[in-house]
Amino acid sequence: MSKIVGIDLGTTHSAIAVVEAGMPGILADAEGRRLLPSVVHFPANGEPVVGVAAKRIQTVEPERTVVSAKRFMGRSENSLVKGEAASPVEVSALILKELRAQAEAALGESVDRAVITVPAYFNDAQRQATKLAGEQAGWKVERIINEPTAAALACGLQGLPEGDQVAVYDLGGGTFDLSILELREGVFQVLATHGNTALGGDDVDAAIAEWLETKVEGELDATGKARIREAAEQAKIALSSSDEYRIQLPFLKPDFSLEVNFSRADLESLARPILEQTKTHCRQALTDAGMKSTDLSQVILVGGQTRMPLVRRLVAEWFECAEYEEVRGDVRLGDSFHSADGPVLNTGVNPDEAVALGASIQGAILSGEMTSTLLLDVTPLSLGVETFGGLMNVIIPRNSTIPAKAGEMFTNAVDGQRAMLVHVLQGERERAADNWSLGRFELEFESAPRGGARVGVQFEIDADGILQVLARDTTTGREKIVPIQSAVDVSDDRVQEMVEESVEHAFEDMDARRWVEAALKADEAVKAARDGLEAFRDELDNAQIIDEAIAAVEGLLQSADNDQGDLPALKAAVARLDQVTLPLADLIMDRAMEAMLRKQGVLD
């Protein structure tokens, strides 16, 4: 059986690793390069070019070169290059195919089993797309795991004391995740995760490039813009280890060459607004985990962008990381002064390679080469279904440990209903329309009076974080099992803002839910009262009073606007209706009891 390798399919660079003799290691290409640029060029004639060669061609033919395809995973773009089979999945498959060839050349044997990593905040469509890309490249994808989870394995966190909690700050080329993990009885559990699937080093490069373009008079063609973007990335990398860098682009235009000094201070002024966007996600993850930054033992930096000194300073500041200062000339007794006031900032792991190394460790665990250190990921957003009244009923809450399975029983809302629409949702809002629709399907069942049908709906998320929905009619046993596919195009920013929106609209959403639930109960009360009046009006002394109470409830329901109405007045009107229909309820009960006794022969 072949080895199971680990793959970090990155936005700007990708890497592949394997465990040999108990040690994880990166598999370099024939030239010794450990990272593969995630770039694919589609020439007008010939086969696609992947990696370093594609990146070189990018400045000459940028319109036929795809970069950062990972940012488009899970969307419905047909092609990222006009006239070519270059969907995000197909581009990613070419990168994964190149990594496979690289691994087989390095190992001297066939390799077709892999663990592939994704950002923790990738939604179901993006995970499905990643798995499909792996399969198209000839891989048997054994597991999809979160990048921060893989980084935790690479750092050897299984050696931490029981109950230790760490944060993994993962800022790559195009995505950002902050995950909080805890070690419990040898098991890593992700307590919370938060992030942005469209934020990373690419945005810093774009900001530098935009600044450089202001130094150029007139418009630049596509080649000129590509050269500036390449120079921006080179300057950013250089300024991680130096204070100043001279950017030189001869003949950027036929009559113009660009030469400009670019300092670390210039870089940090451009990068700071972008990096500050990660602060909100850090705070939200801590809030979700019910923790303070001082509860953490360490903060691990992962992703090439974390090499930037500004990133390290900001993260240390946000998490109140301990700073040690050497004080000479004093003798101090005891050990209290050695204790850190906050978490340690862990920069010891190679930020570009940690994720691939961790994925290879997971692969070795799956193949039995290494003893298992279990990692339990969590769902980044709640999953549920739409219920009558347009509300979302949560089946699997946000931050539930996966694999996960949960279900609930539902019934029909109207008489004679013969099918139930199962509308699968993802999000944190109370109203279905405010959440992300993952898919819909219908389950047919035997016609039944209102409340007579019983349909069980079960959600199951596998270890890859991929959702499967089952709906079963408990009367007939008829069922449907639907794997949720990446057929829905939803923008990444909608996903990343979902939690913030739920907080912002929390009171408004809860008011809407209370109104909808009260309105449904009011509708039931009105229907029951009308049915009773139709059957027994002539036997009641207060039929007119009941009519007036019904009219009062209906008036309040009709005056509601966008799930908002006078809730106290509605509750009072329904309570009044309940009170005046007590004689009617007693009469209905008496008639039902009388009919039952006659059927049993007790009464003539």
Position 305 scores a pLDDT of 92
Q: What is the pLDDT of residue 185?
A: 64
> Is residue 170 among the annotated active site residues?
yes
Cα torsion angle, 69, 75, 76, 77, sign: negative
Strands 165-171 and 176-184: antiparallel
**Among 432, 435, 422, 453, residue whose Cα is nearest residue 389:** 432
Report whether 96 contacts 134 (CB < 8 A): yes
- Contact yes or no for 170/121 (Cβ under 8 A): no
Strands (E), 83-217: 113-118, 140-146, 165-171, 176-184, 187-196
Taking phi first (over 0 means left), then psi (-120 to 50 degrees means alpha), and beta for anything else, what does residue 598 get?
Answer: alpha
Report the candidate in 524, 543, 523 with the shortest Cα–Cα distance to residue 584: 543
Give backbone dihedrals phi and psi of 495, rounded to 5 degrees, phi first: -70, -50
* Average pLDDT for the chain: 83
Q: Which of 3, 29, 55, 70 is catalytic?
A: 70
Picking from 418, 420, 487, the residue whose alpha carbon sits closest to that of residue 456 is 420
pLDDT tier at 324, thresholds 50, 70, 90 = very low
The active-site residue out of 3, 8, 142, 386 is: 8
What's the pLDDT tens digit per position in 110-123?
999 999 999 877 88
pLDDT of residue 99: 97
C-alpha 422, offset from chain centre: 22
| Alpha-carbon gap, residue 518 to 16, rounded angstroms | 56
Percent of the chain with pLDDT over 90: 30
Cα torsion through 224, 229, 234, 240, rounded to 10 = 150
Q: pLDDT-derived band of residue 355, with 50, 70 and 90 as boundaries? A: very high
Q: Report whether pLDDT(576) > 70.
A: yes
Taking only the tens place, the pLDDT of each residue in 76-122 is 777 888 778 789 999 999 999 999 999 999 998 999 999 999 987 78
Q: How far apart are CA 517 and CA 388, in angstroms?
A: 9
Domains, the chain, ordered by start: 4-200+272-324+339-376 (3.30.420.40), 201-271 (3.90.640.10), 379-493 (2.60.34.10), 507-599 (1.20.1270.10)
- This prediction has a pTM of 0.65
Helix (H, G, I), strand (E, B) or coil at 147: helix
Cis geometry, peptide bond prior to residue 403 (ω within 30 degrees of 0): yes
| pLDDT at res. 157 | 66
Kindly report, residue by residue over 258-312, the tens digit of the pLDDT.
Answer: 999 999 999 999 999 999 999 999 999 999 999 999 999 889 999 889 999 999 9
Cβ neighbours around 126 below 10 Å, total: 27
8 among known catalytic residues: yes
Question: What separation in angstroms does the CA of 249 have from each of 154, 229, 253, 265?
Answer: 39, 11, 9, 21
Average pLDDT over residues 511-520: 79
Q: What is the pLDDT of residues 184-234, one digit of tens each?
A: 766 667 888 888 878 899 999 999 999 999 988 888 888 889 899 999 999
70 is catalytic: yes
Q: State the Cα–Cα distance between residues 10 and 172, nearest whole angstrom.
A: 8
Query: For residues 229 and 267, what is the distance between their CA atoms, to the nearest angstrom?
Result: 14
